[in-house]
Every structure is written in C-alpha cells, then in structure tokens.
Amino acid sequence: MESAVKNSLLAPIKTLKFCVSGEKQPSGWTKHGSKRHGKLREAMNAQKNAERAAMRAHFRRKYQLTKNAKDAEQLRAAGRKVCLPRDLAKMVGPEAPAKDDSFGLIDAFQSLGAGIFTRKQSKTPTSRADTEPCRSKGRRTERQEALLCVKGVQSDQIKSESSSMISSCVRPPGFSTAVRSLCVHACGREDAGTERALPRRTGGVRDFQEIPHTGSNGWINLLRFWKDGRFSLLHKHMENTFRRLGPIYREHLGSQSSVNIMLPTDIGELFRSEGLHPRRMTLQPWATHRETRRHSKGVFLKNGTEWRADRLLLNREVMVASAVRRFLPLLDDVAQDFCRSLRHRVETEGVGETGQRRMTLDPSPDLFRFALEASCHVLYGERIGLFSSSPSEESERFIWAVERMLATTPPLLYLPPRLLLRLRAPLWTQHATAWDHIFSHAEARIQRGYQRMQMAVGGASDGRFLGVLGQLMEAGQLSLELIKANITELMAGGVDTTAVPLQFALFELGRNPDVQERVRAQVLSSWEQALYPVGITVQRYPTLVQVCLYPLGRSPEVFDRPERFDPSRWAGSKPDENAGSGGSFRSLAFGFGSRQCVGRRIAENEMQLLLMHILRNFKLTVSSTEELNTKYTLILQPESPPRITFTTRSL
C-alpha cells in the first residue's frame, strides 16, 4: 500500500519544483553563489521543502499512513508559510457535491441491454470510486481557492479544512470552526440566543451563544415535546422553528444539544470542513442493543479508523460501478416480477374493459415486500418468494420488526437507554426485541449463504453472484462477525427507506398527470427526493450540527415553488435561479461525502427500476390531490398510506 501511495505521490510532488516559490533561479546566480544568494537559496529550499511536506502530509492523511515528523519540521522551517500552486492546491482542496452523481436509470437500462433509451448519460461513477467512491466532484469558489493560499497552514490542517482557515478569529475551545463560520452567515441578527429573531445583520463572526434557541433547559423542552406529541412531527417542528428563529438555531432536548441549519451555503460550510472520518449522531439505542447483546457494530454505528476500514470494503461491494453492474440485473428481476404480479392482480380482480382494467389499492404492503425481496436478492443472492400468494411468516415478521425498531427509536434517543434497560421499560424491551428479530433473520440467511459457499467447489462461487454477503466472504477481508454486523445493518437500513419514498413517488405521479406523462416518456433518472427526505436530517460533529432536509426541501429561499412536484428541477443543466450561494448543497437525501448512505446505489436503482416498470405497465391516478400528512418515525412517511388507482396500459 505504502509503495503504491508513494508512486502516486511522486508525480504531484515532482511538479513542485516548478512551483512559484522555486520556479527559476534568480538572475545573477553563480554556481557557488554569494552569501546573500546562499541565504536566498536556503529560504527557497525551505519553501520548496515545505510545499512538498504539505503535499506529503495531505496524502499521508488521505491514505491513513503514519505521520512523518520531517514534514512538520519542514513546514516549521518555512515559517509555516505555504502557498501551493493552483493545480496542487486543487488536489488538497475541499470538494462540493456535484448536482447529482447518481448512477441513473438510463445507465441502468443501458447496462441491462434493454436499449430503450438513447440519451447518453455521463454520470457513471468513475474508477476513482474504487478507493473513494463517495466524494463527488465539484468546483471551489474563488474564496475557497484563496483560502488555500494562506499563511500559517499547518500540516494537519491542509486537507479540506477550508472552514478552519476561514478566519483568524478567536476560537472558544471545543467549538467547531465550521459552526463559527455558520454564525457569520446565518446568525447575523440582533437578538440571537433568545427565542426571538430579528432581521439579519451582516457583519463579523458572532458568538456561539448568540445563536437563537428554543429554550435552554433540555429537560423542560423534552417534556414539552412529549406533551405535544411532537416526536412524530419533528420535521414540522423544525420547519416552524426555522420560520420563527431564522435559518440557524440551537435546540436542547433531554441529553441532546444540536445546532440546526438549512441553507445550502451553511450546509456547504459544514460539509467542506469534514475530515477523513466524518461523524454522525450516534443512535444510542441501537448502540446499546449491540453492546448488551455482544454483537459487533457495523458502519452505521462505528466511527474513526474502524469505520473507515469497514466502509472502504463495503464500498467495493455496493457503491462502485462494477458492483452496481453486478447487482442491477437482480434488482431488475425483482422489479419486473413485482409489476407482473401487480398486473395479474389488476387484470383478474380489477374493473373496466380489457386492456384498461383498473384497481384502487394501498400499495404500501406490496412495496415493503418488494423492498425486502430486492434487498435479500442483492445482499444474499437469494429470492425469498414474497410475491407468492403466501409469503413466509418469517418475512412478514422481519418487516414488522424493522417498522417497530424504527418507530421506537426517536423517543429513546433522548433518554439514557441503559437506565431504561435496568428499569425494563416497555419501550426499550420492544426496541431490543425488534432488533433481535432483525438479527435472527440476518443470522439465518448468513448461515445459509455460508453453507452455499462451502458447497461451491473449493469454497468459491463458480462465477455465480452470491450476493454482497458472498462477495464479502470470498474477499475474506472482514471477519465473519463484522460481515454479520454490516449485513444486518444493510438489511435493516434497506427496506423502509426505499419502500416509503416509492409510496410518495407513486402518489405524486398520480396527482400530477402531466409530470407522469413526461416522466413516462423520458424516464429520467431523477425524481423528487428533497420534498420528502426519508431521513429528515443529516448530522455532523464536533458540536452536533443537523442539516434539516425537510425545511430545506420546502424553503422558497432555496427552491423555486418548492411545493411543486417537478423532477425536472434535478435534471439537465437548468440554472438554479433560486439556489443562492452554495447552490449545489440542495439534494442531500443520501447525505454527503465519504459518510453518505452506503446503500445509495442499491436504493436509487431499486426505486428507479420499479418506477420505470410501473410507468410502462400502468397509468396512475389518485382520488384526492390533497397534500399528504406525514409523520416521523426515524424516517419520514405518510401518516396513512395513499391509495393509488393502477390502470393497465398496453405494453
């Protein structure tokens, strides 16, 4: 590894000899040089060494190699003044997300050889993804560009920590500079730090304490939350609070404190400051379950180098383009089966003339089954027969368990789970039992997968895709215990998260017939994600900052007519008239950067394929175009699932 990294370092570091600071010998330079020239040469060498050290330090951090004292020494010798040439500065600079780097539907169908679409898409993940697939490319602003050329850059600051360079202002200990700079943008109002908000004021960095808040006593706030039943309406609470207090506020709830933000500029600021090991809020009830049951944790619950080691191995199996190509046909099989079975049902049980039979139903139970069937096919390489007339009790129990586990998580987040465990509180018992079901479902499948692998000649798969599980086992780089932990998390994270947005999407297509027609005709790769983000926040430490996706998606400050279902806002190169600055940090349903959703490629393709097959088979209508009421149960979902009328189309 070290040698591969050295090779990749060699070229960029060599180019440093042409760097501004050491570009040419000064005129009048003699072979031996004068004393004055000697000093000059020394200074130039020190500068050159410092630049090389800065680059080395960057790559050492990137590839998790041990630090080198010489780098720090050389930086020190140059008085910590490092001004990298533009192209090198670019390599160590921050990245903003591309508008949408999804592996789109059209790619999907081209890979399947369906040949239905001819429009070319160039957004397939590149080979870079083999090592760092989650970071999407983007352009730096002039301001960031300038920030890279700063005085006093220390070796361990050089990576994408632009916000830590933002100001030379005094930093209170433990207070993230990203949050400080957020204050510059968003907190410029007269009486921040209270429950009132006054008009914005431009100006310098304001104090953390000045960020407005919803009440300083976390326990009183929590009581209010319980009393008003606000847990299930957390997304609405956030939207209202932003309206009341402005685009940044603090919230104390029980033992949790967070700074909540929603503007793309602020979100960009936060994400540009994330390092090699981004941290989210730990879902303590989940962690306590693993600890008390002595299960290992997977990427969802891990942090630091342990997280990164697992994550890079998982990326290879579920995020990179070659992995997507492996599992795409499996997802397509399931999506086609779903549509065949629904079509059969509408044709036999529906009403209307032949060729245009119709049936109105709540598709949510079928969508949950679809998502579970698709997950099992991709993760275990196994079909579990959920579209048959009598799906197994075990599968039904799994779906119930995931739903229970999610619903019991939010209220447990603000209370100490170990205390509840000791008190045998029913809420905790329900939560832990739900997780036990999820684990035993995964355990049974992992055992079967293991046996199948053993039975295959020499333990190898004979070229057959045995699912992500088989791939991980064959690679042999994760222990069986860690494979189990991660596969279980992928199973738990992969069902409701896709089934619910599918409900929203069908409903929106049903009540927007013109959009439905356009999508059917074009079958574009992107559709609404910001309006109903299943995860309503993305979080980062230090100082818990929550990016509030629901208010972001519904803000007229960020989107032109945000309430309108308009998938075309994500397509093509339509300028973001309303994006304001930080425009690209608007589509964050899957989070951002190296810690973004690891199931993203599975989810996107699973949902897109299903929608595509549905639109080819059916016309969708809804009886009411009223807004859907929504509730939050760790994921955002409709309060009651919408009923959709499916009318068959001729193929």
Instruction: Assess contact for 248 and 187: CB atoms under 8 A.
Output: yes
Answer for which of 311, 326, 431, 520 binds ligand HEM (CB under 6 A) is 311
* String of contacts with ligand HEM for each residue 225-264, x by CB under 6 A: ----------------------------------------
* Structure tokens, 107: 């790619």
Q: Between 21 and 587, name the residue whose CB sits nearer to ligand HEM.
A: 587
Q: Between 534 and 548, name the residue whose CB sits nearer to ligand HEM.
A: 534
294 φ, ψ (degrees, to nearest 5): 55, 40
Answer for which of 161, 382, 489, 508 binds ligand HEM (CB under 6 A) is 489
Query: Rounded distance, CA 105 to CA 117, Å?
Result: 10
Residue recorded with tokens 């080395």: 56
By the rule CB under 6 A, 381 interacts with ligand HEM = no
Q: Between 210 and 332, name the residue whose CB sits nearer to ligand HEM.
A: 332
Q: How many residues does the chain have?
A: 651
Query: Rounded distance, CA 402 to CA 203, Å?
Result: 48
Residue recorded with tokens 């994408």: 160
Nearest distance from C-beta of residue 485 to ligand HEM, angstroms: 10
Nearest distance from C-beta of residue 280 to ligand HEM, angstroms: 5
Q: For residue 365, give the nearest of 386, 343, 339 by alpha carbon.
A: 386
* String of contacts with ligand HEM for each residue 59-98, x by CB under 6 A: ----------------------------------------
133 φ, ψ (degrees, to nearest 5): -70, -15
| Half-sphere exposure for 465 (CA within 13 Å, toward CB) | 21
Helix ranges (H only) for 78-112 are 86-92, 105-112
Nearest distance from C-beta of residue 306 to ligand HEM, angstroms: 11
Answer for which of 401, 523, 602, 634 binds ligand HEM (CB under 6 A) is 602
Instruction: Assess contact for 264 and 583: CB atoms under 8 A.
Output: yes
360, β-bridge pairs:
645
Answer for which of 592, 618, 632, 646 binds ligand HEM (CB under 6 A) is 592
Q: Between 16 and 372, name the residue whose CB sits nearer to ligand HEM.
A: 372
Write out the H or E segment, with its range, that includes residue 214: none
Q: Between 386 and 534, name the residue whose CB sits nearer to ligand HEM.
A: 534
* Structure tokens, 125: 């993940």
Nearest distance from C-beta of residue 369 to ligand HEM, angstroms: 15
Query: Rounded distance, CA 558 to CA 579, Å?
Result: 5
Query: Rounded distance, CA 567 to CA 560, Å?
Result: 12
For ligand HEM (CB under 6 A), the number of binding residues is 25
Q: Is 183 exposed, middle or buried (0-12, 13-18, 19+ CB in 10 A)?
A: buried
By the rule CB under 6 A, 591 interacts with ligand HEM = yes
Site residues for ligand HEM, 270-299, by CB under 6 A, read 280, 299
Answer for which of 49, 596, 617, 648 binds ligand HEM (CB under 6 A) is 596
Nearest distance from C-beta of residue 304 to ligand HEM, angstroms: 12
Query: Rounded distance, CA 100 to CA 610, Å?
Result: 20
Site residues for ligand HEM, 511-540, by CB under 6 A, read 534-535, 538
Site residues for ligand HEM, 191-230, by CB under 6 A, read none
Nearest distance from C-beta of residue 536 to ligand HEM, angstroms: 9
Distances (CA, A) of 214 to 18, 241, 257, 536, 620: 55, 8, 11, 19, 43
Q: Between 21 and 630, name the residue whose CB sits nearer to ligand HEM.
A: 630
Answer for which of 498, 525, 555, 608 binds ligand HEM (CB under 6 A) is 498
Nearest distance from C-beta of residue 620 to ligand HEM, angstroms: 19
Nearest distance from C-beta of residue 602 to ligand HEM, angstroms: 5
Q: For residue 125, give the nearest of 337, 319, 347, 412 by alpha carbon.
A: 319
Answer for which of 211, 603, 615, 628 binds ligand HEM (CB under 6 A) is 603
| Half-sphere exposure for 32 (CA within 13 Å, toward CB) | 2
Query: Rounded distance, CA 637 to CA 437, Å?
Result: 23
49-57, 81-89, 396-404, 594-602 -> range binding ligand HEM (CB under 6 A) = 594-602
Q: Between 498 and 525, name the residue whose CB sits nearer to ligand HEM.
A: 498
Answer for which of 590, 618, 632, 646 binds ligand HEM (CB under 6 A) is 590
DSSP of 296-339: PP-TTT--HHHHHHHHHHHHHHHTSHHHHHHHHHHHHHHHHHHH
By the rule CB under 6 A, 493 interacts with ligand HEM = yes
Nearest distance from C-beta of residue 457 to ligand HEM, angstroms: 29
Contacts with ligand HEM by CB under 6 A lie at: 280, 299-300, 311, 489-490, 493-494, 497-498, 501, 534-535, 538, 589-592, 595-599, 602-603
